Chain A
């Protein structure tokens, strides 16, 4: 490259850089984490730009990435649907000079069992134990008697089940394995609940997007996805039997029922609402949380995140429903607002 061209290129980059700096006189923050709520977060951050003059760059790399990022301080705040363990909270304290990591629930979502079976348009029924056995590799074909029993009237094909799971640290995995651990003692013993587990069978894909993409391509596949990913990509998903014995399909009503039915639920602890007893409850529901340090060095950033959180649990909740995420129960939303004051 001639020196003249190089000079031109350098000045072009400098100009764009400068323009970008001017354009973003807004406060800039970086966040990383869960793909589960990524659609609503991206919409929120996009809309909030003009309201709060803050540009939040959200990189959805899985709940694990959010937890690690906020712990090591490489991002300003994180997002996770995995419930943080005591060790993880302690680790944050240790690496951040004794400060606490606050968790703020934002919306509720559902994890659905999605499948790709050519010729099947009906919604299949799944029970907890059946799902556990599929993911343990014990049920290997779609026309297995156990599946046929709960799906009378549907002609299930003699097709191999291809199990899909996450290959990255995922809150969606946490919620799903949390549910499986509650309904299958064998699952709890052999695999357990975590954002990243040792899967007995299956192919791995990165992020909810990756699992959805793979599901589309792979005939006979079954995978667990956040509801909106299945809906957006026109993937079939089944009903799951809840603790009361009903086969429930995931939607706003059934997910909100799960939140309402769970006892407890102060906003300051992360609550698991999988497999709660109650009528019309979708059993694989979960909150999703923003992980925010309680102290920011930069006062502007602290103010920005506080403003955003306030907006998210009030105005933002309206948009949540358009993307099939359930709103926070009112009481919880109010508690969240109060807790925002803890951020300095």
Chain B
């Protein structure tokens, strides 16, 4: 027996479902909105100067962010060198060696680290690196960002290593490989696309971080040589220029924002596509 759906119920149904659709469209449109504005204000101020010149003293126009772009690259490189190996190895430990209770404790602590606000990590890096060394440096900035990279490195590694089917491992061990050899020559390569994309997402996440760099890397109007000198980075420059009064600097802030966002989004999209087409997805 088919029940008649009353008009009210039908109206409510249609209304609510349309409303939810509208909300979705609203949220998605924010993304296009942001991209659109950055494109509008930023792309037009992108010129050769922006990528090649150093910042000019205040009041003089022209000037660019060449040192900040390279600076961000250096700090991120340092962060990867500090954060990824530790996170990766710990992930291997969790996936391959540890027992249940210890693993629970570790995962809890790693989650704790993930939840630390980035500004707090900046404070700790200042206390641990900047103050004892008595200068601001790319090293300090890299340390702060590296610590932020650890939790995601651990989780990604563990997740993708666990996803490798046991029969691959058993096969290798049956052929006489030691556990270590199995892990490093068989399991990890099997998970490599997931691991790489996970690291890319990790990198994209810290690439935009500003707060931890405020009192670790500080800033520099010139090229920063070596790893022990203060260094200019894109996010900090955006912050400084956005709050400055000169319109010229606002333009540069938009341009820098555009460059930063484009890079972050490209890395994100590439990483996700790799995951989506990788073996883990195919096995699903």
**Complex A–B touching at CB under 8 A:** yes
Is B136 engaged at the interface, CB distance under 8 Å to the other chain? yes
**Residues of chain A contacted by B225 (CB below 8 angstroms):** 17, 20-21, 23-24, 28
Main secondary structure of the interface of A (DSSP, over half): helix
Q: Are B134 and A210 in contact (CB under 8 A)?
A: no
B135:A75 contact, CB within 8 angstroms: yes
- Asked if A10 lies at the interface with its beta carbon under 8 angstroms from chain B, I say yes
B135 touches A213 (CB 8 A): no
Q: Report the minimal beta-carbon distance from A101 to chain B, rounded to whole angstroms.
A: 15
> Which residue of chain A is the closest to B134 with respect to CB atoms?
A73
Rounded to whole Å, the gap between the CB of B131 and the closest CB of chain A is 6
Inter-chain contact A24/B223, CB cutoff 8 Å: yes
CB of B244 within 8 A of CB of A20, answer no
**Contacting residue for A57 out of B134, B222, B240, CB 8 A:** B222
CB distance from B121 to the nearest CB of A (A): 18
Cα(A21)–Cα(B130), bound, Å: 21
Q: A13-B74, A209-B245 given as contacts; is B57 within 8 A of A74 (CB)?
A: no
Are the CB atoms of A57 and B230 closer together than 8 Å? yes
Cα–Cα, bound, A10→B70 (Å):
11
Closest to B239 in A: A206
Over the window 25-58 of chain A, the binary record of Cβ atoms lying under 8 Å from chain B Cβ atoms (1 yes, 0 no) is: 0001010100000110011001000000001011
The answer to whether residues A55 and B136 also contact, given A30-B230, A209-B245, A210-B243 and a CB cut-off of 8 A, is no
Interface residue A262 (Cβ < 8 Å from any Cβ of B): no
With a CB–CB cut-off of 8 A, which chain B residues contact A207? 243
Alpha-carbon gap, A229 to B243, bound state (A): 14
Q: Tell me if B118 counts as interface (CB < 8 A to partner A).
A: no
Contacts of B98 in A (CB 8 A): none
- Give CA–CA (A39, B136) in the complex, Å: 22
Q: Mark B199-227, 1 if CB is under 8 A from A, else 0.
A: 01000000000000000001111111110
- The tally of residues in A whose CB lies under 8 Å from a CB in B reads 39
Asked whether, in the complex, the Cβ of B243 is within 8 Å of the Cβ of A74, the reply is no
Given contacts A43-B57, A72-B134, contact A9 B73 (CB under 8 A): yes
Highest count of chain A CB atoms <10 Å: which of B59, B70, B134, B224: B59
Tell me if A216 and B245 are in contact (CB < 8 A): yes
Q: Is the CB of A57 within 8 A of B245?
A: no
Evaluate contact between B136 and A229: CB separation under 8 angstroms: no
Q: Which residues of B contact A73 (CB under 8 A)?
A: 134
Q: Whole-angstrom distance from the CB of A214 to the nearest CB of chain B?
A: 8
The answer on a CB contact under 8 Å between B244 and A213 is: yes
Q: Is B131 a contact partner of A233 (Cβ separation < 8 A)?
A: no
B136-179, CB under 8 A of A: which get 1 and which 0?
A: 10000000000000000000000000000000000000000000
**Do the beta carbons of B222 and A39 come within 8 Å of each other?**
no
Smallest CB–CB gap between B223 and chain A, Å? 4
Asked if residues B73 and A13 are in contact (CB atoms below 8 Å), the reply is yes
A57-B230, A209-B243, A210-B243 given; 7 more Cβ-contact pairs under 8 Å: A16-B70, A20-B224, A28-B229, A206-B243, A209-B240, A212-B244, A232-B245
Per CB-CB distance, the 9 closest pairs between chain A and chain B, nearest first, are: A42-B57, A212-B245, A20-B223, A20-B225, A213-B245, A73-B134, A209-B244, A21-B225, A210-B243
Interface residues of A (CB under 8 A from B): 1, 9-10, 13, 16-17, 20-21, 23-24, 28, 30, 32, 38-39, 42-43, 46, 55, 57-59, 72-75, 205-207, 209-210, 212-213, 215-216, 229, 232-233, 323
Q: Interface residues, chain B, CB within 8 Å of chain A?
A: 57-59, 70, 73-74, 77, 130-131, 134-136, 196, 200, 218-226, 229-230, 240, 243-246
